[in-house]
Amino acid sequence: MMKMKWTMVLCGTLLAMPVMAEETPAAENMFKMFDTDNNGVVSEQEYVTAAAERARRNFKRVDANNDGQLTTDEVNNAGKRVRKAIEERRQPHDTNQ
């Protein structure tokens, strides 16, 4: 069960990273953060290290009770928070306030 939980977190982390392929300031900053030796390319080791660090941070965000384990409720609640944040960003903002 624990192996499956880590697999979900790592897969989610790794699947989110290809978004960096878009040429945006955020993607450039992310690339620079991954390229720890500043040689202009990201090695497999740099990528894996960055992915592991990101996975740890994401795990801590999802682990609501800080017990070092993820429950389906915690994962579902985290997903709801993410979906809500995405929806809020998609809604047009009232500029007349």
* pLDDT tens for each residue of 14-53: 455 554 455 678 888 888 888 999 999 999 999 999 999 9
CA-based torsion, 62, 65, 68, 69: positive or negative: negative
Lookup: tokens for 7: 């697999």
Q: Per residue in 53-86, pLDDT tens?
A: 999 999 999 999 999 999 999 999 999 999 999 9
This prediction's pTM: 0.58
56 closest CA partner among 45, 70, 43: 70
- The answer to whether residues 60 and 22 touch, using CB atoms and an 8 Å cutoff, is no
- Rounded Cα distance between 58 and 49, Å, is 14
